[in-house]
Every structure is written in C-alpha cells, then in structure tokens.
Amino acid sequence: MNQLKMNPAFRDIVFCAVILVLTSILILFPLSKYYQRPASEREARCIVLETDDSLVFQRGIFRQGEQSVKVRLLDGPDRNRIIQAANLLQGSLELEWFFQPGEKALLGYSKQGDRIIAARMLEPLREGAMLAISLVFLAALIGLAGWVGVKAIVSFGFTIMVILKVLLPFCLESRTDPMLFAMPIVALICLVTIFLVAGFNQKGWSAFLGSLSGCLFTWIILLIFGGMMRVNGATSEFSATLRFSGYEHLDLLKLFYAGVILSASGAIMDVAMDIAVAMFEIREKRPDIRRSELIKSGLNIGRAVIGTMSTTLLLAYSGGAMTMLMYLLAKGIPFWRIMNMNYIASELLKTFSGTIGLTLVVPFTAIIAGFILVRVPPKTQAEEPHEAMKCPIQS
C-alpha cells in the first residue's frame, strides 16, 4: 500500500480527483443572496416569430428606437407562451442586437401573479456556438496532450470556478482588500495548475516557486508606479456602472491592481514552467552537471522565452484597445496627449508591470531550479560529482 501511495501516477490521479471534487463543490455552492434577482424577474430562451420595425429609425450607422418582437418562450414555467417583447435600441453596438424572425434569443420578463407585465429582448442565443467551440477545445487538448490534457481541463475548470465563486463575490462584498486577496488566489491557481500538469516533483516545485516570485514582483511594481502614473482604476465602461449599481464603496484602483496580477500570472506561470521543464531535462541528460552550469543554461533558455513573451503581452493588451486607438488617431489627437490619457496609462502600467514580472521570473526560476535539481553535498562538487543527483524532493 505504501508503494502505491508513492507511485507518481497514482498521486496524479488522486490529486486530479481532489481538484475535481473541489470544483464540483464550487459549482454547487450558491451565490450570495445579494446577487440573486427578485423572483418576479425571470429569464428564458425564446424564438422570434415576428418583428415590427416601424418605430426604428436610422441615425448614421446606428439604429435607434424600439423594435417590437413577437416571441414564443422555449423553457421555464411559461414555456410555449407567445408574448410581445420590446427591443430597445439606443445606439450601443456592444450591448444591443437587431433581431430577425426565426432567431433564437434570451428574453427577460417580469410577472405579476400569472400575468407577464413586461418583456425585453436581451441577447441572441450564443450558447450553441459556445458549446461547439468548447468541445473543439476539449478534443484538441485531450487528443494532443492525452492525460496531461485531461489535467489541464480540470485546472481550467477549477480556475474558472475560483474566480467566479470566490474572487469576484469577495471583492464585491468588500470583505477584504481585493489586491491582497488576489495574491493567495493567484498562488492557489498556480499551485493547482502547475502540480496538476507537472506533478509533485522537482520541476513542479521549481515552476511553482518561480511563478510566485514573478507575481510578487509584479505586485511590487504596481504599488511603486501606480501612484506615480496617477491611474484611477477606471479602465472600462463598466467601472462607473459598477459603482452606480450600489457598490460605491469599491476601490477601483485596487480592483485594477488585482486584475493585473491575475492576468499576468498566466504568462508568468508559462515562462516558469518552460524553464523548469527544460532544466529538468538537462539534468536528466547530464546527471553530473554542476549547479552553476545548470543555472546558466536556465538563464539562456529564459532570455529566448521572454524575448517573445514580452511582445505577446503587449499584443494581448493593445489588441483590446485597437478601435479606441484608431478613433484617437482619426481625430488627430497628438501622441503626447494619448500617452497621458488614464486608459492608455493604465494599459501601459499593466503591460510593463506584467513584463517586468515576466522578466524577473527567469532568474528566480533558474536559481530555484538549480538549487532543487542539484544538491551540493558538504564536499565540493569537483570532489564528488556523483553526489549532485541527491535531492530531498523526489522527481
């Protein structure tokens, strides 16, 4: 039985099962009553039967007015009921949709007793396409990575549930400082992801400790330069909406910092894992390698990785601001003014702090992995090079 417990494959299966159980608990765990809608307000899927566009008018590229939509409900307690719903158009392309007959959609409605007193079209039904791309994602992971892909999927689901059921509710209810709370959440996500994929071995511990060091330095950079750059944390159109929705107490700047740490942790974890795995493979092929040589190899590998990863972060962050940058350029806004805007300054702070953390994770992971993978005995390595393979952490 003891040999079975020490078997790495068995240990992986047990750990994967534990994370699956925790994920299931989080899925079943109810949200706070503060986030639940009143019983009189319901949502249901529907199919559009007819539309009346007589009250819709075109203003430039925007449709405005009210589209009257006749729908049949497809689920819920009012299934198969045919009702009239309104589709309010105010020119917000990112929030509105112009419906056509035969299209499936999501509908919100209010009831008074058994009578539906108001109904409004919400969104076109996208869940079919989302399910299809999710299945492609799962098939690609499992087909190409096998058991490692299965563990990656478990980690993916756990991360989503931790963010939705733990991080966001705690930040909304302001039970704790969101910036301070984000660090242990990121540490937990790194722990689960790295040890699920790499296992509880030398490369897993090297990648985990290296990731934590990179996230910690990202946090420090944010604290140092956030005040100097005078950003206020309002980096999206939903920032003010959230404050005016009954959450005036929220500190948008600290929420912004927490978001930066969370978003940078993925790339940091990726680099730490790349270096740890590469150094582990080098040690496997060269058991007699000296610690200094192994660390130097890790640094050389890290330089090549961060050369592309830093640009990857820039492209990932700037891609979301592409239309805004095009608008500013089209209006002839000078470059110096663009660089001083709050949104641009926030994006630059996010990019540079994440990149600095990404850069610093390289030497820290290389040094940590060097000490974990190669243990120096009381005598020098030159005298007893074969002792370099002894390590308290089993691979």
Neighbours of 67 (CB within 10 A): 21
Claim to verify: residue 229 and residue 299 sit in the same structural domain = yes
- End-of-domain residue from the set 125, 150, 184: 125
- Report the alpha-carbon distance of residue 60 to residue 73 in Å, rounded: 34
Query: Has residue 375 been placed in a domain?
Result: yes
Claim to verify: residue 117 and residue 186 sit in the same structural domain = no
Claim to verify: residue 209 and residue 305 sit in the same structural domain = yes
Q: What is the rounded end-to-end Cα distance, in angstroms, of the chain?
A: 20
pLDDT tens for each residue of 103-124: 999 999 998 888 888 999 999 9
Query: Has residue 195 been placed in a domain?
Result: yes
Claim to verify: residue 311 and residue 227 sit in the same structural domain = yes
Query: Has residue 21 been placed in a domain?
Result: no
Question: In the structure encoding, which two tokens stand for residue 162, read together?
Answer: 């931790």
Neighbours of 385 (CB within 10 A): 13
Res 209: pLDDT: 95
Cα separation values, 382 from 139, 290, 333, Å: 50, 9, 64
Question: In the structure encoding, which two tokens stand for residue 188, read together?
Answer: 């937990």
Planar angle of CA 133, 135, 141, nearest 5 degrees:
105
Residue given tokens 């704790």 in the structure block: 176
pLDDT tens for each residue of 144-183: 988 889 999 999 999 999 999 999 888 887 667 888 889 9
Helix, strand, or coil here: 42? strand
Claim to verify: residue 269 and residue 190 sit in the same structural domain = yes
Strand partners, 123: 106
Give the number of domains in the chain.
Answer: 2
Claim to verify: residue 257 and residue 349 sit in the same structural domain = yes
- Report the alpha-carbon distance of residue 70 to residue 315 in Å, rounded: 43
Query: Has residue 156 been placed in a domain?
Result: no
Claim to verify: residue 197 and residue 330 sit in the same structural domain = yes
Res 317: pLDDT: 67
Binned at pLDDT 50, 70 and 90, residue 52 comes out as very high
Instruction: State pTM to two decimals.
Output: 0.81
pLDDT tens for each residue of 280-337: 999 999 999 999 999 999 999 988 888 777 777 777 766 767 787 788 888 888 888 8
In the predicted model, is pLDDT for residue 359 greater than 60?
Answer: yes
Claim to verify: residue 120 and residue 188 sit in the same structural domain = no
Helix, strand, or coil here: 67? strand
**CATH code for the domain of 96:** 2.40.50
In the predicted model, is pLDDT for residue 56 greater than 90?
Answer: no
Which amino acid, residue 122?
A: L
Whole-number percent of the chain with pLDDT over 90: 45
pLDDT tens for each residue of 217-256: 999 999 899 888 888 888 777 787 888 777 888 888 888 9
Claim to verify: residue 243 and residue 332 sit in the same structural domain = yes
Helix, strand, or coil here: 238? helix
Q: What is the mean pLDDT of the chain?
A: 85
- Report the alpha-carbon distance of residue 140 to residue 144 in Å, rounded: 6
- The answer to whether 306 and 363 have CB atoms below 8 angstroms apart is no
Res 377: pLDDT: 53
Query: Has residue 147 been placed in a domain?
Result: no
- Report the alpha-carbon distance of residue 289 to residue 226 in Å, rounded: 43
- Structural domain of 72: 41-125
Smallest Cα–Cα separation from 324: which of 220, 237, 258, 263?
A: 237
What does residue 108 show for φ and ψ, rounded to 5 degrees? Answer: -110, 135
